[in-house]
Amino acid sequence: MKTMARAEPVGTEFLQRRAWAAAASVPDPEVPCVTVADLGILRSVEIDDDGVAVAKVTPTYSGCPAVLAIELSVESALREAGFEARVVRVMAPAWTTDWVSADGREKLRAYGIAPPVKAANSVRALFGETQVACPQCGSQETERVSEFGSTACKALYRCTSCKEPFDYFKCI
């Protein structure tokens, strides 16, 4: 006679990992090469006492036009994974480019966007010239063309070696 293994009850830790994986897979709507987890804006996903997956999201800045789209996409991803879902916007501590993962930085570079080069706590993080390597050819011979690129969180640079323009994800 064949006996069947009894399935173990699904624990909260397992559900949290599953919920995190679903939420973490959501691409950023403005920079689709990176996910909300790569950018560090997905702060946590927990299963509350009622079994609801609660995702906490910190926008890159308070006026980010994509924040609602991100929140709705995270909620949708959790629902598609079979969870009741709620997204909570967390404004403090404020997001910083220090939260961008190493994988996220590499994905930005491969996509043609120079990742932030300084720590956000640097005195000159938001002011002064930043030496940025060209994501196309790797040259340090670059110049800032405009403080604002395709989005407010990026500046437009040009490589003087390969002549290609590129966005630089500003250090915030």
pLDDT tens string 99-114? 999 999 999 999 999 9
- The average pLDDT across 115-136 equals 70
| pLDDT score recorded for residue 113 | 95
| pLDDT score recorded for residue 172 | 80
For 137-166, write each residue's pLDDT tens digit: 999 999 999 988 888 888 999 999 999 999
Q: Above pLDDT 90, what percent of the chain? A: 72
| pLDDT score recorded for residue 64 | 85
Element (H, E) at 104: helix 102-111
First to last CA, the chain: 65
Higher pLDDT, 38 or 12: 38
C-alpha to C-alpha distance for 77 and 94, rounded to whole angstroms: 24
C-alpha to C-alpha distance for 157 and 142, rounded to whole angstroms: 7
Claim: this prediction has a pTM higher than 0.85: no
SS3 of 129, please?
coil
- Chain position carrying tokens 């706590």: 121
C-alpha to C-alpha distance for 47 and 20, rounded to whole angstroms: 10
